[in-house]
Amino acid sequence: MPYDELTGDEAMRAPDAAGPRTRSEGLSEGIDPTMFSVLLHAIGQASDEMTRVLQRGARSTIISIARDHSASIYTAQAQMLYQNDALPIHTIGGALNIDATIEEFGDDINEGDVFMINDPYMGTTHNSDLTVIMPVFHEGRHLFWTSIRAHQNNTGEASFGHASTSVWQDGIQIPPVRIFERGKEVRSIIRFYLRNVRLPEWLEADLRAMVGSVRTGAARLSEMTATHGVDTVLATVAEMIEYSDRRTAAEIRALPDGVYKGESWIDSDGQGTHDIRIACTVTIEDDMVHVDYSESDPQVGGHCNSSLASLQANGSIPVLTTIDPTIPRNEGCMRHIKVSAREGTVALGKWPSSTWWSTTNPGDELIEAAWKALAQAAPDRVPAGWGRIQQRLSMGDDYRTDPPTPFAASIFVAGSGGGGSAGYDGWPLTQCVCALGGLQNESVEMVELLQPLFIESNEFLIDSAGAGEWIGGHGCETVVMPYHGLLYMKFEYEGTLNPPFGLFGGLPGNGGCKYKETPDGKRYFYQAHPDPDAFREGERYVCVSSGGGGYGSALDRPPEAVRELVRDELVSPEMARVRFGVVLDAETLAVDEAETEALRERMQETADRSMSLPAGPGEGLFWQTRFREGDELVVEETPVALRLGLSPEAR
């Protein structure tokens, strides 16, 4: 269901149309501020404990180390109440999963029940994000839902690593199903799930950790209610939402009303279509923000069409990053944000299009386009472009054991950089935009211990960040090699052709690249989403992640701050001169103040201070700096079914 066509219970959560609010931003009359603080932190502690239980119990490193998971708490009416240390892509649209469960089971929801769901057409972001939810009861009354969403290493997709063209190739689709009934395990459902995925032992351990997580959260919320009483808890919870509502309304009213536009481009759908346009129109009126993507390109044949949950989250994230960060992110905030798209576009795929990668692709681009629009209304609150997802995944047999044992790895040892913003340089190692820095890098030693691969090198790359008064986070260069056998690698890599944008004269990040290098030195360069490739002993996989975009003109960065970047080998002396207009002594690296002043004065005459750079698609050229005579470009091939123009149902 499109987000702008809410009905039934969902309509109760839609924005109040009664006109401007007149209440103060403080607590409502009759609410005890001490009790408010106590219960807010108690709910937060329950969410935090859910996170720790999952991380300590999960087997897959993408959950236990890389933290690709989120714990959140909702009211019985599926209103988002609390998200702690979570990925916003996971939690903002989480109510849709609960809505689907309520619709499926109606009044047959009982104490001790646990449900799971991963269907992207029933409220999940993409089918890799398995979601486990549990109703929380106290003295027979349903008060809350606890929810955990975690990325699975495998969902039984038709062919590991190939860009899918329909939901049936994405893997098993799970509607809301009950896996524990009144506390008793429904083993037949769990066995059915595990028979349809690779690495069932791994995924069963992950699933049990997820169940333990929601049960822990439910127990803590029940204890809190027993201590303070149902009436006090419900009244205070309602005020938590109203409190965020009032503060969000005030923040948005402070922004200038108007209609603002931005656009971004997806490198590829993995099936031969490139530079796919995301178009965003942001309308600010009084205390409402409407983020609309209806002018985006039609849905594509590959796996980068957005689900409704991903659309709702990624369209809301740019607004939520623009308001005061001390406002609790809950349903009260969401009342002031409307996200929409025309079904059948890449921004909201129509069943049965593939949404396999929708969280980051087109998720990252949805955020970028809205940020560009919002930068016109709130220039001091919007960052330059972040580096997009640049992930390496591997699956196969570990021949270090006898007999060989199956393994799966999502190699998060490095990542892209975030964008610079007014007053701050960008973060390094942010991984992707939609996680907002919430993912965690794995240690090289742990990756090598658990998987049959060797990280030859892993380091920040010089001159990778977009230059600006405030620079982007630095990109990395990582070299991976097989260890004792064959390494089967798949790639998800965006932003090479369309690098992270710079703002207000800031320059784009480098965009990065990826390639195989054989022992004779030949390089095979991959496009955004190529088919998987096999790496044999002696072959190297080189991945260069992108630096973030710069904010403001590089000519305004203090020369001493540029010198420090050169000293730390993050910027070269040549780049200091060419981009920042700073001349350094070749031996001492001391700033030549006279030469620097003269050079900057000349450069100011031709400096490009455009709001956003690059202004169009396909401007990423960094990969060409690594391409040598005799190297090859591995070109994506469009499947026969798509070339023939068959309908998705016929594929």
Q: What is the pLDDT of residues 435-454, one digit of tens each?
A: 998 898 888 998 898 889 99
CA distance 324 to 338: 18
* End-to-end Cα, the chain, rounded Å: 25
Assess whether pLDDT exceeds 70 at residue 17.
Answer: no
Range 585-595 average pLDDT: 96
Q: What pLDDT is stored for residue 84 in this prediction?
A: 75
Q: Where are the beta strands (DSSP E) in 152-238?
A: 177-181, 184-185
pLDDT band for position 507 (cuts 50, 70, 90): very high
Range 265-286 average pLDDT: 94
CA distance 71 to 524: 41
Please state the pTM of the whole predicted model. 0.92
Q: What pLDDT is stored for residue 639 in this prediction?
A: 61
pLDDT band for position 25 (cuts 50, 70, 90): low
Q: What pLDDT is stored for residue 337 in this prediction?
A: 98
Determine the angle formed by the axes of helices 230-253 and 200-228, rounding to 10 degrees: 100
CA distance 510 to 390: 13
Q: Where are the beta strands (DSSP E) in 404-555?
A: 405-411, 453-460, 476-482, 487-493, 502-503, 513-517, 523-526, 533-535, 540-544
Residue 287, CA distances (Å) to 243, 246, 250, 467 in order:
15, 10, 7, 35
The torsion of the CA quartet 399, 401, 407, 411, rounded to 10 degrees, works out to -70
Q: What pLDDT is stored for residue 206 in this prediction?
A: 97
Q: What pLDDT is stored for residue 640 in this prediction?
A: 55
CA distance 502 to 549: 4
Assess whether pLDDT exceeds 50 at residue 3.
Answer: no
Establish how many alpha carbons lie within 13 A of residue 648's alpha carbon, considering only the half-sphere containing its beta carbon.
18
Residue 74, CA distances (Å) to 44, 80, 126 in order:
12, 5, 20
CA distance 547 to 418: 7
Window from 50-54, 255-259, 417-421, 487-491 with minimum mean pLDDT: 487-491
Range 364-387 average pLDDT: 97
pLDDT band for position 409 (cuts 50, 70, 90): confident
Instruction: Please list, residue by residue across 189-219, b when 16 or more beta carbons sit within 10 angstroms of its beta carbon and e when fewer do.
Output: bbeebeeebbbbebbbbbbbbbbbbbbbbbe
Assess whether pLDDT exceeds 70 at residue 200.
Answer: yes
User: In the structure, how many helices (H) and strands (E) does the chain have?
Assistant: 18, 23
Task: Write the pLDDT tens digit of every residue in 75-115.
Answer: 999 999 998 778 999 999 899 999 999 999 999 999 999 99
pLDDT band for position 638 (cuts 50, 70, 90): low
CA distance 149 to 131: 4
Joined together, the tokens standing for residue 44 give 């937060």
Q: What pLDDT is stored for residue 74 in this prediction?
A: 97
CA 623-625-630 angle, 5° bins: 90
* CA 541 to chain centroid: 24
Q: What pLDDT is stored for residue 649 in this prediction?
A: 38
Q: What pLDDT is stored for residue 347 in this prediction?
A: 97
Contact 131, 97 (CB under 8 A): yes
Q: What pLDDT is stored for residue 279 in this prediction?
A: 98
Task: Write the pLDDT tens digit of every residue in 592-636.
Answer: 999 999 999 999 999 999 999 999 999 999 999 999 999 999 887
Helices (H), 58-111: 61-64, 88-91, 95-105
Task: Write the pLDDT tens digit of every residue in 306-353.
Answer: 999 999 999 999 999 999 999 999 999 999 999 999 999 999 999 999
Assess whether pLDDT exceeds 90 at residue 383.
Answer: yes
- Which one, of 519, 507, 525, lies nearest residue 464 by Cα? 507
Mean pLDDT over the full length of the chain: 90
Range 292-319 average pLDDT: 96
Identity (one letter) of the amino acid at 439? L
> What percent of the chain shows pLDDT beyond 70?
94
Range 197-216 average pLDDT: 96
Q: What pLDDT is stored for residue 18 in this prediction?
A: 30
Contact 277, 345 (CB under 8 A): no
